[in-house]
């Protein structure tokens, strides 16, 4: 009994496409058009920028704490080997946060305001460099880590300052991130209607707790 198999049908279809002079677009899979970059308004751009970089600054705060601990241990001296695992973990979190921020600031995914795009791109480049350096520094021993001089720190600070100025953000990075965290907390607060209670003759109002992470 003669059977027609699926592979044979597929082969015939391929031959039909091959025999057509010059080829026909319908025989080839159509690629999806590249999505248009998101156009950021001047107001939105500042929020997107802080949403990307503030977690990096928070990760650096953790590194500062662990680095101080290592420096104290090194200064005390002794024969015991100093545990650097917490410092290494903190540096790896900096690397991860820097990587995430670099992707979030990608100028190909969104269109930044013209006056801010060069500065944002410079920040993205410093984040990429910091990611690689953080992974390397995470492997240092205590004495090496305590004495390490971070490469490109001045350039990174200048790039960040230029980006904040171009986006109309506070000059102080700590204040900028604290303000953004505060706004995010307020936005996340669900609106609650007061629930009347029997016997009550008036209404009351509650206060909202506000907080923000500082950055280095």
* Per-residue confidence (pLDDT) for residue 11, from 0 to 100: 32
In tens, the pLDDT along 93-132 reads 999 999 999 999 987 778 999 999 999 999 999 999 999 9
Q: Which H or E run includes 67?
A: helix 42-76
Residue 214 lies in a domain: no
Give the mean pLDDT of 11-26: 41
Range of the domain at 52: 38-186
* Per-residue confidence (pLDDT) for residue 172, from 0 to 100: 94
Report residue 30 as tokens. Answer: 């159509």
Give how many domains the chain has, as a whole number. Answer: 1
In tens, the pLDDT along 48-78 reads 999 999 999 999 999 999 999 999 999 998 7
Residue 212 lies in a domain: no
Residue 192 lies in a domain: no
Q: What does the alpha-carbon distance between residue 164 and residue 50 come to, in Å, rounded to a whole number? A: 9
Residue 152 lies in a domain: yes
Residue 24 lies in a domain: no
Residue 150 lies in a domain: yes
Burial 141-166 (b: 16+ CB within 10 A, else e): ebeebbeeeeeeeeebeebbbbbbeb
* Per-residue confidence (pLDDT) for residue 208, from 0 to 100: 23
């Amino acid at each position: 009994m003669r059977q027609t198999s699926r592979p044979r049908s597929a082969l015939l279809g391929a031959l039909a496409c091959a025999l057509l002079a010059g080829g026909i677009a319908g025989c080839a899979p159509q690629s999806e058009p590249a999505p248009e970059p998101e156009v950021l308004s001047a107001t939105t751009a500042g929020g997107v920028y802080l949403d990307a970089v503030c977690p990096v600054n928070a990760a650096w705060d953790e590194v500062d704490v662990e680095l101080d601990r290592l420096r104290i241990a090194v200064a005390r001296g002794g024969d015991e080997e100093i545990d650097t695992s917490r410092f290494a973990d903190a540096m790896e979190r900096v690397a991860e946060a820097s990587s995430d921020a670099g992707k979030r600031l990608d100028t190909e995914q969104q269109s930044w305001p013209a006056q801010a795009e060069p500065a944002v791109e410079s920040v993205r480049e410093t984040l990429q460099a910091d990611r690689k350096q953080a992974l390397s520094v995470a492997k240092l021993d205590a004495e090496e880590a305590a004495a390490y001089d971070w490469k490109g720190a001045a350039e990174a600070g200048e790039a960040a300052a230029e980006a904040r100025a171009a986006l109309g953000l506070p000059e102080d990075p700590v204040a900028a991130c604290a303000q953004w965290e505060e706004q995010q907390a307020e936005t996340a607060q669900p609106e609650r209607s007061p629930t009347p209670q029997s016997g009550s003759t008036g209404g009351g109002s509650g206060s909202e707790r506000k907080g923000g992470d500082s950055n280095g």
